[in-house]
Amino acid sequence: MFVDQIELETKKYVDFYIITKEIEKIVSKSQIKNGVVTVITKHTTTAITVNEALECLQSDIEIFLSNLVREDSSYSHARMLRNYGSTAGNPTGHIKSLLIGNHCHFILVNGQIIKGDAQDVFFCEFDGPSKRTVMVSIEEK
Amino acid sequence: MFIDINVHPDFYADINLDKTKETLRHNRLNIHHNGLASLNHISNQMNCASIDRMVLMANDCSSTDKTVLVSNEEIKKLIDLGEKKFLGFASVDPNSDNYLQQLEFAFSNLKLSGLVLYPARQYFFPNEEKVADIYQLCIAYNKPIMFQCGLNWEPNALSKYVHPLHFEEVAIKYPTLKLCISGFGWPWVRETAMLLLKYPNIYSDTSVLYFDSAREFYSQIFTKDIPYTWIDRSLRHQVMFGSNNPRFEQIRMAKALSNLGYRDSTVELIKGQNALDFLGISNTGEKSVC
């Protein structure tokens, strides 16, 4: 199995980054021709999803999630965390992460990721800005 | 201009080249799992909170820590790297040797903008005679003092040293000394409000978030524990925005401040003008004459 990572320094509180090209570079570097590609975020207030890379869709997704998981709701997570020594302010990030999920898979055939024309991989930031890491593994089959 | 008057740069990458020191800072501040922050990341955070300037605090409790946690020279280094985003406050420990010379050097050579004191960790009462020479030097240099007050989450910090009533004698004895009781002295917020009402040289800031979300806690403290009219009508020129970052995150605190129901003009004072007055800086960036 080949494992590599993508580092991101996000700039906004909520944002979407298309990381398809970075994943393809890692696949190429692995020299594995056939297998399964897994993309997984290391964080609990971010997500990985596959969708079409259109500004309008990104906006719709962001507004849909913000209406569903409202910043002004009451959350039990909003409290001082002794093991952090700081106050948790990011319950909405955790819940959005839960809804979208933390990973995706692709099939790899003859060195090419098999995906539809409209499919791109999105890294979703729900508690930025922050320094983030996405793990990519290629398992040879 | 939006200013965060109370920021602790202990985990900025540029002053954390030594892993041992980084670990010490985590343990002494009792802040964990937060990693190091590049100046680029800090800039992104400021942009998200719409903050233009931050005042960075040195941290010298060397009489108990046996080392300086964040030195005045490190604050100067960050100011130089910060492309005018940062101002800095010096720290000296009143229980250490040569503290007065260190402070004079910080003001005259490093050009730091004020002094921060940590009575709960440096174990002195603000109205003790032994710190009179510090106050007199600050007056001589026209520099304000930030007292870190209220609950202090750090190990071995003692709240008895920072009760707001200890500052009344200081305000009376040194009427030209501008001092800030940080975090409204929480939980003694009404005592702090009482002092601000009587003494125009006492300021406070919003750097407190020990329960609930920023929206909920700010609403509790700044509209209920202290009725919102008290700040909006009477104390509006003495309250500054402060975050105590990285203990607390700025973005939601900044947003919460704007949603308290104060007049827009009051929010603007808290965001910037009051800090400029505290620092003795005019809106054009010039040092004002007191």
Domains of chain B with CATH codes: 3-279 (3.20.20.140)
Which ipTM was obtained for this model?
A: 0.87
pLDDT in tens, B257-275: 999 999 999 999 999 999 9
Q: Which two tokens stand for residue A72?
A: 């002004």
For residue B181, name the pLDDT band (cuts at 50, 70, 90).
Answer: very high
pLDDT tens by residue, B58-104? 999 999 888 999 999 999 999 999 999 999 999 999 999 999 999 99
Residues 19-48 of B with CB under 8 A from A: 29-35, 38, 40-41, 44-45, 47-48
B residues 104-143 lying closer than 8 A (beta carbon) to A: none
Q: How confident is the model at residue B289 (pLDDT cuts 50, 70, 90)?
A: very low
Q: Which of B32, B38, B48 sits opposite A84 (nearest CB)?
A: B32
Alpha-carbon Rg for chain B in angstroms: 17
pLDDT of residue B35: 87
pLDDT band at B288 (very low <50, low <70, confident <90, very high): very low
Task: Name chain A contacts of B11, Cβ cutoff 8 Å.
Answer: none
Q: What are the tens digits of pLDDT across the range B97-145?
A: 999 999 999 999 999 999 999 999 999 999 999 999 999 999 999 999 9
pLDDT grade, residue B282 (50/70/90)?
A: confident
Residues near B19 by Cβ (< 8 Å), separated by ≥ 6? Answer: none
| Sheet with A112-114, side-by-side order of all strands | A2-9, A131-140, A35-41, A103-109, A112-114
Nearest Cβ partner for A87 among B34, B47, B209: B209
Instruction: Give the distance from residue A78's alpha carbon to the nearest chain B alpha carbon, in angstroms.
Output: 5
Stretch B183-210: mean pLDDT: 97
The structural domains of chain A, ordered by start, are 2-69+88-140 (2.60.120.460)
Residue B220 distance to chain A (closest CA, Å): 14
Q: What pLDDT, on the 0 to 100 scale, is given for residue A116?
A: 96
Q: What is the pLDDT of residue B248?
A: 93
Per-residue pLDDT at B3 exceeds 90: yes
Residue B112's pLDDT is: 98
B214 touches chain A (CB under 8 A): yes
Residue B290 has what pLDDT?
36
CA distance B66 to A57: 56
At residue A93, the pLDDT reads 98
CA distance B231 to chain A (A): 23
Where chain A has pLDDT below 70, the residues are none
Give percent above pLDDT 90 in chain B: 94
pLDDT classification of B283: cutoffs 50, 70, 90: low
Across the range B228-234, mean pLDDT stands at 96
- DSSP-assigned beta bridge partners for residue A131: A9
Residue B47: predicted pLDDT: 96
